Chain A
């Protein structure tokens, strides 16, 4: 799909080279992103799309060092911010661009918006954050799982039993227990996400539901996106047998919104 960058991009890289599809899944800690990434990946692979995923703090260049620095809790907010940006840029340039050039679907489990929200909550200026991440391509779709902080905490408790130091924003809070800190911090992040949702045109998906219901909605939006771009490459394939799937997803959505 036709790409562009948020800012100046990468020297020597024409956005038109990136013909694959870039899907970003955003949301707070415990919003259910990883589950959705997994389900979406499965869906796409079933349809025959090659998929890779990436996320924060996974680069070969600085991923490990960034993790170590976070355990030591010894870096300032500005340094963290740039460290994350370095990590992100390295993954783009070593993995993501290669895959997009080859026409893959790339799913980002968090994109530039999580680090931006975290940085802004810690006092960074919006415009500065925007400029720093000017090297990032604009995704074809940004799906934002908007979730209540208390539900996020529940999901984390179920998964690992403990809230993390960073996901509770302990570095910037001095009062309250960890749970209170978590809820407060995630509320702050959500406010930043809400601002970005408008600014960057996120597809906002209600994350306070059964994962299968969320997936049905995510799937529908992604399917729509892929069909839009399909005529370019798949003109003669007619329409994919998507009708049954549509019905299934519609049926699921019709159920009254019983929260799990």
Chain B
């Protein structure tokens, strides 16, 4: 359980940033590139453990989560993915791409008033990523992207549990602003590699690929198998 420090063959790349910062788009592009080049790559996203998800969504639906249980249940979800996917894949020598990592919890939980050191301790079993890209975008741009496309905001997503405002849209704006401040605060501590998320998408992708190649000897991750997964199908190369 406490192997967050030992050397392992795999590499872990995480993306962080506000909703609407474009991080998911960028990590998907990175994934496509690595897959098409036949590297051993695996993608994982926040909040996706099947077993824990049921409890999490119930808690959210009934609005019965407190800052402490919100924090704990997300950590449980993360632990499940970490123990069963992320760590085994890293041990097996994969490049693991994570759409959000522990830093999302650091930022969100701190905004909800949970003790910062406690949250770090909770997640201390998790390895630090080899690279964490932080998609830095001015708050108004991120808000514009989200609110234009998806006006129906969920209760916790909008940070309504914080009692910032009765209007979900307004609450979301204030909440995102607070998270952004928190991201900036932890940026140095967590070794964020800043990506200017207002730049053209293809330029952002080029930067990511360049940084990845400069930090990781990527050739060693070439898949030896001639089989690879492509769009859910196994195809012969």
Chain A residues with CB under 8 Å of chain B are 7-8, 10-12, 60-62, 65-66, 69, 72, 74-79, 81-83, 85-86, 89-90, 93-94, 122-125, 128, 131-132, 134-135
Which B94-128 residues sit within 8 Å CB-CB of chain A? Answer: 112-115, 117-118, 121-122, 124-125
Which B11-68 residues sit within 8 Å CB-CB of chain A? Answer: 49, 51-52, 54-55, 58-59, 64-68
Partner of A75, one of B68, B69, B80, B122: B80
A10 to B66, CA, bound (A): 9
Partner of B76, one of A7, A83, A123: A83
The answer to whether B115 touches A86 (Cβ under 8 A) is no
**Distance between A126 CB and nearest chain B CB, rounded to angstroms:** 10
Q: Let me know if B221 is at the binding interface, CB within 8 A.
A: no
Number of B residues, CB within 8 Å of A: 34
The answer to whether A79 touches B76 (Cβ under 8 A) is yes
Give chain B residues whose Cβ lies under 8 Å from the Cβ of A12: 113
A86 to B75, CA, bound (A): 9
Chain B residue, CB-CB nearest to A60: B64
Chain B residue, CB-CB nearest to A134: B118
Give chain B residues whose Cβ lies under 8 Å from the Cβ of A62: 55, 59, 73, 76
The answer to whether A11 touches B112 (Cβ under 8 A) is yes
Residue pairs across A and B with Cβ atoms less than 8 A apart, 30 shown, are A11-B68, A11-B113, A11-B114, A11-B115, A60-B64, A61-B55, A61-B64, A62-B73, A72-B51, A74-B51, A75-B83, A76-B83, A77-B1, A77-B83, A78-B1, A78-B79, A79-B76, A79-B80, A82-B79, A85-B76, A86-B76, A89-B66, A89-B68, A90-B64, A90-B66, A123-B1, A124-B2, A125-B1, A125-B2, A134-B118
A192 to B207, CA, bound (A): 51
Q: Let me know if B72 is at the binding interface, CB within 8 A.
A: yes
Chain A residue, CB-CB nearest to B75: A82
A128 with B2, Cβ < 8 A, contacts A8-B115, A76-B84, A78-B125 known: yes
**Distance between A203 CB and nearest chain B CB, rounded to angstroms:** 28
A94 to B121, CA, bound (A): 24
Chain A residue, CB-CB nearest to B53: A65
A93 with B55, Cβ < 8 A, contacts A82-B75, A128-B2 known: no
